[in-house]
Amino acid sequence: MKKAMVIVNPASGKEEALDYVEEIKSILDEKGYDVVISQTEKELDATRYCEDACKNEFDLVVSLGGDGTLHETINGMVDQAHRPLLGIVPLGTVNDFARALQLPLDPKKAVQSLRSDRSKKVDIGKFNDRYFVNIVAIGSIAEATYEVTAEQKSKFGPLAYVMEGFKTLSSKESYPLRIENEEKRWEGECFLFLAALTNSTGGFENLSPEAKVNDGLLHCYIIKNVSVIRLASIVTAILKGELKNQEDVEYFTARHLDIHSENELVTNVDGEEGDPLPVSIEVKPSHIDVIVN
C-alpha cells in the first residue's frame, strides 16, 4: 500500500490547520494511501518528520502550514536519496511558493487539489548548507523584514514587508559587494542584492516575472548605490515587474554564485535569517516533484 505523511503545523492559518486534517486524510484514503499525521510542536519538527518519511520511503508528503512549515519540510527532503511527491496546502500569510506554482491559496480548494494526478518538477536553491524555494536577499530591506510582526502580517498581508522596507530607505546605506562565478564577476557598491528562483516574493507575483519554477536558474538583481528618491522608484518598479529595466539595476542569471563583502551583512533566505557573508548559492534543477492542478 502507498504511504503518505501529512505534516501539520497546528498554529498555522489562525490555528485552523487541524480543521483540514480529516478531509485530507479522507482524500488520500480514497487514493489508496495509508496516512500518517505528524503535528509539529517546535522548530525543525517538520524537517525531522520529512527526513523520516524519506528514509522510510513514503510515497507522498503533504505540508499543511505556512511558508515556514514548507521551508522546513523541503529542507528535510532535498538531501535524501528517496524524495516523495510533495503536496502543499498553504495556510500562511504570503504563501510565495504556492503562488509561483499557481496553486489555490484558499485552503479548502488547496485540499481538493490533492486529488490531482498531475505533478511538476521544481528547482530548489542551496544557500550554504540549507535550502530555499523562493529568494535570497542581502542588504538593508532584507534586514527590515525581520522587524515585521505576526500582527502586521495578519493585518496588512504582503504589504507589511513593503511598509517596513520603506521605513529603512532613508537610514540605510549601500555596502561593498563582490559577486562571482565561473562566468561573471561584479564588484561595487550595492544597496540590495536579490537572487530569485520564482516570480513571487513577499506575496508580490511580479518581482521577477522572468523566473520559472523549473528553469534551473537564479534570477539576480543588483540594486546599486542610489538616492532615496530613486529607491522609491525602484520599489514601484518591483511592484510592477519592471525591476530589471531600471538604470540603477543590473540583472543577470546564474546557476551558481559566491558572494563576499568587507562588511558584516544580513542575509534573508525565504523570509528567515541566513548565514552572514561570505555565502555560496546554487540551483538544484528539477529536484522535487510537487502536486499541481
Cα 199 from Cα 201, distance rounded (Å): 7
The CA distance from 32 to 2, in Å, is: 6
* Residue type at position 284: K
The CA-based dihedral angle spanning residues 74, 80, 84, 88, taken in that order and rounded to the nearest 10 degrees: 0
Q: Which are the contacts of 61, defined by CB distance < 8 A and separation ≥ 6?
A: 4, 5, 6, 7, 50, 53, 54, 73, 77, 84, 85, 86, 87
In 3D space, the residue among 197, 213, 211 whose CA is nearest the CA of residue 257 turns out to be: 197
Give phi and psi for 105, each to the nearest 5: -90, -15
Q: Of these residues, 205, 242, 250, 272, which one is catalytic?
A: 272
Q: Dig out the grid coordinates for 53 from the structure.
A: 518519511
Query: Is 272 in the active site?
Result: yes
Strand partners, 122: 288
Q: Which residues are catalytic?
A: 272
